[in-house]
Amino acid sequence: MGRLGCTCNDLLLGIDLEAKVQINTVCQGMLTGTIENVTDAIIQLEQQPGRLTNICCDKICTIRNLTPTEVDFIGDTDLPPPHGV
């Protein structure tokens, strides 16, 4: 029997921790923010400084990196700065 769905690591292939991303989920639609933490089943997304959302990986359809232009368009108020800044 084959595997159903994919793991958080599968979804994040080629995407770094602390990357600014857009996540498309089956229950919350599009979410934009910075990847803060990853477990086997959960991706933690910081949408605003101090505002974390835990997302079940089995509810994620797609994840993609935001381009610098998209980050500029969204604005600094919607995305937290990288750590150490």
Whole-model pTM: value is: 0.74
For the chain, 85 residues long, give each residue's pLDDT as a single digit of tens.
455 678 898 999 999 999 999 999 998 889 999 999 999 899 999 998 889 999 999 999 999 999 888 887 765 545 545 444 4
User: What are the boundaries of each domain within the chain?
Assistant: 8-74
The sheet with strand 60-65 has its strands ordered as 51-56, 42-48, 29-38, 20-25, 60-65
Q: The domain at 8-74 falls in which architecture?
A: Roll (2.30)
What is the model's pLDDT at position 84?
46
Q: Are 22 and 30 a contacting pair, CB within 8 Å?
A: yes
Q: Residue 54: its pLDDT value, please?
A: 95
